[in-house]
Amino acid sequence: MSREDKVTTQIKDFLVDNAIENGIKKVEEEKQETQNPDIELRYTNSELEKIRKLTSILRLGKELFLESAISYVHFLFSEHKESIQKIIDEESEKYQAELKEVSPIENMSKKDRDRFSGKIRFSPETSNKIEQLDMKDRINECLFVGINLLYKQLVGEFKTVNQEK
């Protein structure tokens, strides 16, 4: 085999290996998408304001903050199951009441639709936490609970302490 034939064979082998590797990556990405699909989110006015403040305070991107809010609910649930379940139920009712104050999504302008709704793909770890909380069908409520609890902890507590002085 000539040197030129060896180089050609090496190039072909490289291209074949590269194509196989890319195909495997694509299959893995598609598998991940079906196991962990995009989640439709629906926000309330108060929730959006708290998200804005908390992401600014914590210097976190919105997606990371939303995952953190769910992690916080999961942490509290694992530490204080009964008391946090009561809070989850109360906050879920507040979410539903506040959501009724916002126009139905189909009646909104594109600008408002973009503001009051969104999509996210949670990490497998966060998806697992949502399942452990048994809130897979109530993800928006879980986020609402987490956002409100974080807000109370980080901002609300300071207001209370400051008012006492």
* Amino acid 145: pLDDT: 95
Residue 32's pLDDT is what?
57
Domain annotation covers residue 17 = no
Number of compact structural domains in the chain = 1
Question: Which structural domain range is residue 76 located in?
Answer: 36-164
Q: Identify whether 65 is part of a domain.
A: yes
Sign of the CA dihedral 48, 49, 50, 54?
Answer: positive
Q: What is the pLDDT of residue 149?
A: 94
Q: Is residue 24 a part of any domain in this protein?
A: no
Question: What is the DSSP track for 67-111?
Answer: HHHHHHHHHHHHHSHHHHHHHHHHHHHHHHHHHHHSPPGGGS-HH
Residue 142 lies in a domain: yes
Cβ neighbour number for residue 126 with a 10 Å cutoff = 21
**Residue indicated by tokens 């639709």:** 113
Q: What is the dihedral of CA 52, 55, 58, 64, to 10 degrees?
A: 160
Alpha carbon distance 66, 125 (integer Å): 13
Half-sphere exposure of 145 (CA within 13 A, CB side): 26
Residue 18 lies in a domain: no
Q: Establish if 2 belongs to a structural domain.
A: no
Query: Is residue 103 within 8 Å of residue 43, measured between CB atoms?
Result: no
pLDDT of residue 146: 96
Q: pLDDT tens digits for 103-136?
A: 787 788 888 888 888 999 999 999 999 999 999 9
Can you list the residues of the chain whose pLDDT is less than 50? none
pLDDT at res. 134? 92
CB 51 within 8 Å of CB 150: no
- 141, 65 in Cβ contact below 8 A? no
The answer to whether position 127 is within a domain reads: yes
Q: Is residue 10 part of a domain?
A: no
